[in-house]
Amino acid sequence: MNKKLNTIWKFLTYDIWRITESEVTKTKFSLYTIIKTIYLCVNRFSKDQIMNKASALTYSTLLAIVPILAILFAIARGFGFANLMEHQVRHGFGGVKDTTELLMQFVDSYLSQTKSGVFIGVGLVLLLWTVINLTSNIERTFNRIWQVKKPRSMYRKVTDYFSMFLLLPILIVVSGGLSIFMTTTMKEMYNFAVLAPILKFLVRLIPFALTWFMFTGLYIFMPNTKVKFKNAFISGVLAGTAYQAFQYLYIDSQVWVTKYNAIYGSFAAIPMFLLWMQTSWTICLFGAELTYAGQNIQNFSFDKDTRNISRRYRDFIAILICSLIAKRFVNNEPPYSAEELSAEHHIPIRLTNQILYQLQEINMVHEVVTDHLNEDIAYLPSMDTNQMSVAILLDKLDSYGSEDFKVDKDNKFVGQWKVLIEAREEYYKNAGQVLLKDL
């Protein structure tokens, strides 16, 4: 039994990541892709400590929820649909009367201070900072999941975030209006035996559909990178369904709160509200992990081998990629992208990206944008192809990185350093005459 379990585990963690599309049937490869996506998602969920990130976002949300609701209600009152907005918010937190009543009191108090000069000064700045801080924390968490190192600029944060907050109350009201319209229509058509069950199903489907698109929009908009709609939508459907299922469970569990009234009194709803936020963020971030895994699953092919690649094979891949890019340039052909290099020559995409990054660092190749609309990136040589020899490439790869350590290579260990340099020179002697474009 242990041997069989070990075999299955080895297949999941190693063998399945080495299977290419040409080795199996299309159906089997699709099945393997689903298995790899689920495994990668669960593995990264654990390694990225998503539960801790969900707790941090729960805390940030708790601090920002009243200012955010104040902004949404201020916009809603400006458009004249504050009552419908209030109805949606009251039912948006699981229908918990105590929690929503407390929140609405805070929001009313917050908005009542807008007439005073103090709010216009310090209070307004604090409100804007709270909102931007929460959305920045959400973006930072999504960027870490997507391994994006460059966040939005402050200008883009202000414009993007407040555009979102301007549209959010409108979308909430539209969703509420749609639900009311469908419910009213269903009552009017109740006598139609065929249409009534269909409309009833559609009314019940509306909250799910709205939640699906809300999560899909979040997965596309929040990371500061390009996210494909297909991957975001699949994750949005799964995360949205899980969220709605938890909502129903959360509403039913409010019966339990009455048992704690004797202990907590009026605070009995607060632990349940915190649980609701923690679980909601956990579901949301799991969906973000699933989106990343689905879009980047090909990057993890030969993952263990890529992490344990030998020195000479890494040099071989660097020579191969550099020579292919040089040939394309000499032949006046369209430059290679990372995806084309990987697909045409069966190089794992993750290894391809690593080598291309290193080749850019040593100034052998550089990025160019081939399609400004889609921001497609390709690569061209960074020096004269008539001088791009194998020796220059290997020498730059050898000397890439820091050598500023306090080891006495000039006096005490001059012999070891000298023999290394001489061995390298001998090694490069023949390669100096070989140009990468001629390989």
**pLDDT in the model for residue 11:** 86
Please check whether residues 122 and 222 belong to one and the same domain: yes
Lowest mean pLDDT among 50-64, 375-389, 402-416, 424-438: 424-438
Please check whether residues 205 and 314 belong to one and the same domain: no
Please check whether residues 289 and 349 belong to one and the same domain: no
Please check whether residues 266 and 415 belong to one and the same domain: no
Please check whether residues 320 and 182 belong to one and the same domain: no
pTM of the model: 0.72
With H, G, I as helix, E, B as strand and everything else as coil, classify residue 321: helix
Cβ neighbours, 10 Å, residue 248: 11
Mean pLDDT over 431-435 rounds to 79
Please check whether residues 42 and 60 belong to one and the same domain: no
Mean pLDDT over 99-123 rounds to 61
390-425 confidence digits (pLDDT tens): 888 988 888 888 887 888 888 889 899 889 888 888
DSSP state of 435: B
Mean pLDDT over 229-246 rounds to 90
In order of 105, 120, 157, the CA distances from 112 in angstroms are: 11, 12, 28
Please check whether residues 22 and 125 belong to one and the same domain: no
Range of the domain at 272: 48-299
Please check whether residues 253 and 310 belong to one and the same domain: no
With H, G, I as helix, E, B as strand and everything else as coil, classify residue 371: strand
Total structural domains in the chain? 3
Question: How confident is the prediction for the chain on average, in pLDDT?
Answer: 79
Q: Which of 273, 299, 325 is the last residue of a domain?
A: 299
Please check whether residues 128 and 117 belong to one and the same domain: yes
Please check whether residues 209 and 65 belong to one and the same domain: yes
Please check whether residues 63 and 212 belong to one and the same domain: yes
Token pair 């009833």: residue: 200
Domain with residue 416: its CATH number is: 1.10.10.10
Please check whether residues 208 and 330 belong to one and the same domain: no
CA separation for the pair 377, 98 (Å, rounded): 53
